[in-house]
Amino acid sequence: MQNTRLNRLVDSIGNRASQWLSNPWRRLSLQIIGLLLGFLLGSVISTVAGQAANWDVVAAATVLIAIEIVNGVVYRRNESEEKPFALGLMNALKIGITYSLFLEAFKLGS
């Protein structure tokens, strides 16, 4: 690639972001935010799909396929390799969605 100003700017932003994420507390806080955002997203999905009753099966299939794709990407790697931050964030989001849907099912069952 050519060394243009735009290319240097994108590289600089990427380097700053990776340097900012090298702090373990920042990584942990962003993963917790991802978990809570997944919890919110799961509640929204179940509420919207429950309101329009004909979308239940489509929403369930979409969530199931998305969760299985994330599982395949995250858990395909060897345990010895360190996971990239984006995969950890996707996994936290997936865990939040799954937990939220389980809680919604328990609320409906009681």
DSSP secondary structure code for residue 1 in this structure: -
3-state secondary structure of 49: helix
Distance of CA 94 to the CA centre of its chain: 5
Extract the residue ranges of the chain whose pLDDT is less than 50.
none
- Tens digit of pLDDT for each residue in 50-77? 887 787 888 889 999 999 999 999 888 7
CA nearest to 32, candidates 76, 95, 80: 95
Token code pair at residue 90: 């996707």
**pLDDT score recorded for residue 48:** 87
What 50-59 contacts at long range (C-beta under 8 Å, 24+ apart), as own/partner pairs, is: none
